Structure 1
Amino acid sequence: MKARIGDRLVCEGQHVGDAQRIGTIVEVGHADGSPPFRVRWSDGHESYVSPGPDARIQPADGG
């Protein structure tokens, strides 16, 4: 999984009824765009994430 600053990280809920978590990538761990990513979540909190199979990147440019 590769990302750039400004892309969105979308994590699907792992259980029935869990909501999606959506955040903006504010830091990329490696020059090639690979994790870990520092993500600012929609509630304002930030955390470092190494996304699993339940996550996808939504490019900032819409592509």
Structure 2
Amino acid sequence: MSAPAPAEKGHRTTDMPPAEATGHGMRAHVGDEIVVRGTAPGVIAREGEVVGVHHPDGSPPYDVRWADTDRVTLYFPGPDAYIKHLAPTPTPDGHGS
């Protein structure tokens, strides 16, 4: 296993994500970014784009296209992962907010 990659410029690694982006309350939409933290402060271990959501409420698992390999895998996020909401949040009428 290789060492985690250092945090890239422009990534905010010290800010805590909102509660709905982490843990049991995690909710994602297609187009959001998932970030898996490294084991050392300021390190991003892996990033990917959510390309599929299996539940209407946006709860895990997710189909994620990983930036480092361009592969799509089924991902069950752990406590070291959080969501960056990049896509507009869908509304009941099908439009983003």
Answer yes or no: same fold by TM over 0.5.
yes
Where structure 1 has 5 or more consecutive residues not aligned to the other structure, the ranges are: none
Match among 58, 82, 86 for residue 56 of structure 1: 82
Where structure 2 has 5 or more consecutive residues not aligned to the other structure, the ranges are: 1-25, 89-97
Structure 1 or 2: larger helix share? 2
Report the TM-score when normalising by structure 2: 0.56
Greater RCO, 1 or 2 (C-alpha within 8 Å, sep 6+) = 1
Task: Indicate the RMSD between aligned Cα atoms, in angstroms.
Answer: 1.9
Q: Distance in 2 between matches of 1:19 and 1:2?
A: 20
Name which one, 1 or 2, has greater alpha-carbon Rg: 2
Structure 1 or 2: larger strand share? 1
2:39 matched to 1:7? no
Deviating 4+ runs (over 4 angstroms): none
Does the residue aligned with 1:3 lie in a helix, a strand or coil?
coil
Residue of structure 2 in register with 1:33 after alignment = 58
Report the TM-score when normalising by structure 1: 0.84
Q: Distance in 2 between matches of 1:19 and 1:61?
A: 21
